[in-house]
Structure 1
């Protein structure tokens, strides 16, 4: 057993420089590789997170501007529709006024034509009556014998 312990002691004693070198290697790795790598990764993460925050801010700003543009667009469309409606009402009113004026003009012409027709009818009746008296006297003169007068026939 002593021999085993001696051999184990020799092995442990031979492993001490290896363990010291391993510990130095781990410390050197920590100092030379791990810390700079952690630093670079932290910086990269900060830049990425900062870029993500900037992108989120830019997206939020773009959404706000989009909302504002949409609101302006809706307002402009509403104003255009209102202006169009006013124009249509104005055109309808102008059309109605023109139609009313044409109706009045036509009514005046019809009234003037009626008066002219009535005047022509009165004149025609007057002429017919005057001509009919003369014509009836001629017809009677032509039909009745020469000595009989129209006054005698009427009795």
Structure 2
């Protein structure tokens, strides 16, 4: 067993330089490869996250501008509709005024024409009444002898 321990001690003693070399290699790997790689990866992650944050900010800004443009567009449409409604009301008022004027003018014409017709009817009646006596006298003179008509007219 002594012999095994001696051999084991020799192996451990022979492996000490290998272990020291391995530890130095791990430390060198940490300084030369792992730390710069971690630093580059963290920078890359920061840049990516920063770019994503910038993109989110740009999207939020674009949405805000879009909202502002939509509000302006709504306001412009409302203004156009209001102007259109005002113009339509004005046109309707003008049309109603013109119709009222035409109605009044037509009423006056109808009244004037009615009065003219009534005057014509009255004049015609007066003329017919005036001529009816004369016409009846002519008819009587034509139908009856001259002496009978004169006595009847005198009575």
Q: TM-score range by the shorter chain?
A: over 0.9
5+ unaligned residues in a row in structure 2: which ranges? Answer: none
Q: 1:45 to 1:151 in 2, by over 3 A?
A: farther
Q: TM-score, normalised to structure 2's length? A: 0.92
Q: Which has the higher contact order (CA 8 A, sep 6+)?
A: 1
Give the ranges of 4+ consecutive aligned residues of structure 1 lying more than 6 Å apart after TM superposition: none
Q: Match for residue 87 of structure 2?
A: 87
Asked whether 1:97 is paired with 2:97, we answer: yes
Q: TM (normalized to structure 1)?
A: 0.92
What is the aligned partner in structure 2 of residue 31 from structure 1?
A: 31
Deviation at 1:145, TM superposition (A): 2.4
Q: Quote the RMSD (CA, aligned, Å).
A: 1.6
Residues 106-145 of structure 1 mapped to structure 2, 5 A cutoff: 106-145=106-145
- 1:62 counterpart = 2:62: yes
Q: How many residues align?
A: 155
Q: Which moved more, 1:29-38 or 1:117-126?
A: 117-126
Structure 1 residue runs without a partner (length 5+):
none
Give the whole-Å Cα distance in 1 for the aligned partners of 2:154 and 2:143: 14
